[in-house]
Chains A and B, each alone.
Chain A
Amino acid sequence: MSWLDVVSAFTQFDLAQASDRPIVIDDADVPAMMRDLDRHRLVGVAAAAVERGRVEGAIACSAIAARHDEVMASSARIELLARRCSTRLAEAGIDHRLLKGAALAHLVASDSSEREYRDVDLLVPSESMDAAVDAMGDLGARRRRPELRPGFDRRFAKSVTMRLDGLEIDLHRTIAPGPFGALVKPGDLFVLPAAVRLAGRQVPTLDRTDHLVHACYHVALGSPTPVATNLRDVVLLGSGAIDTERAVATIRRWQGEAAVQRAIRLVDESIGWLPAPLGVLRDELDAGRTDMVECYLHGDDRFAEMAKATLRVLTGRDRIDYALAIGLPDGTSAVDRVRGLLSRE
């Protein structure tokens, strides 16, 4: 097998209709394969395949097991940080929802050891964003970049990134960057409660249907070339009980049809099949605002293009204030701050 075939086999591993052929890895391919497993966050899946005797190649098995020890140590640290952040937010009376890997490792992976992740993602209500940043500051976290202008975070930011003990905390106001993120109604994600248990503590998260919508947004808009584990997330979420009627209504309300259709297409191309709920979404949803997807597909200047597209979906005072914040941020070094903004992702 070429190492690209190997990565593809791991992407599809243990999903319904996936091949059960052995995954044969040449010794010479191991370095490139390990780089790709890291990039696509498939080390946990690969380790599960090794444990079940599905991988052939002693050097590859050994490399996967060693790397798995490392990424699981990191994921466990991040899980405990997520728990700590949630505890602090609850103490401060701030509603919140755990997003992405730290939640999905417990919700959809066969075992949490199959799903690595690299940061803590927490959704907080827009009006609580400033208080949430302060609450994380109480723990010792420091934001990576200053706020562009007072009020920008709670009105326009996708997220505020903070660092604590060498780990990253993303406080999300919405679930996507750019115009699609601006059209999301984040309050919708606080309606239905769900929880995951992290080290003995219940931490609030999205319900499965909302996780699926978020996972689709992430696949479609998070990066021009999606990470394989995020494609798996969509399939794994879609393989469970999904309220497709509510998902369709939510996506329409957020004008997210084009984003979700793109995600479903990417999943279909990569995995080769779709669970039934994804087929329903594909058939029920229109093509939507496909013009808005374009700005997400740029490389280096992606953020600038997204900012321009965001301006087009904002109206009235919001459009003026957003343009001011982007064009004339507060602070002593506007050039540096704009440069920092343009490098955000």
Chain B
Amino acid sequence: MTASSTTYRRRNAAERRLTSNRLLVHAVGEPAGTILGGSAPVIWELLGQGVTTEDDIVAALLVRYSDTEDVIRAGVTAALADLVRADLLEGVP
């Protein structure tokens, strides 16, 4: 497992579950919300439960899904980057 020391913290946000397993997240102070799809809603939920590093998120998803670690990690890395870009997460190295 690749070590990652960055800790991610969710911004306070209003959330609404949408159809087809999508999640609307509208952070405080932002003019509009962002719709999360794919694995992002699950990652967002894990972050809200105190699972705050990439390694821990990957470990949690390995328990849930049958994909290989490489596949899951690639998805988590991309999703975390998207969430940071959307200003929904703060990453603390």
Contact = CB atoms under 8 A, between A and B. Distances in A.
Interface string B1-32: 00000000000111111111000101110001
Nearest to B17: A113
Contacts of B75: none
B28 A69 contact: no
A128 interface: no
Contacts of A51: 19
A241 interface: no
A243 to B, nearest CB: 30
Contacts of B20: 65
A72 B18 contact: yes
B33 interface: yes
Which has the most chain A C-beta neighbours within 10 Å: B15, B16, B35? B16
Contact of B14 (A47, A64, A111, A198): A198
Contact of A199 (B14, B17, B19, B35): B14
Interface string A213-240: 0000000000000000000000000000
A76 B19 contact: no
A64 B19 CA distance: 9
Mostly, the B contact residues are: strand
Nearest to A82: B14
Interface residues of A, number: 22
Contact of B18 (A68, A79, A83, A199): A68
Contacts of A76: 14-16, 24, 26, 33
A111 B33 CA distance: 18
Sort chain B's interface into a size bin. Answer: 10 to 19
Contacts of A182: none
A5 B18 CA distance: 25
A83 B16 contact: no
Given A77-B26, A80-B28, A199-B28, A72 B16 contact: yes
Contacts of B18: 47, 65, 68-69, 72, 113
Contact of B12 (A72, A112, A113, A199): A199
Contacts of A201: 12
A76 B16 CA distance: 7
A76 B27 CA distance: 9
A73 interface: yes
Contact of A113 (B16, B32, B33): B16
A195 to B, nearest CB: 15
Interface of A: 47, 50-51, 64-65, 68-69, 72-73, 75-77, 79-80, 83, 111-113, 198-201
Given A73-B32, A200-B13, 18 more contacts: A47-B19, A51-B19, A64-B19, A65-B20, A73-B26, A73-B33, A75-B16, A76-B24, A77-B32, A79-B14, A80-B28, A83-B28, A112-B16, A113-B16, A199-B12, A199-B28, A200-B12, A200-B28
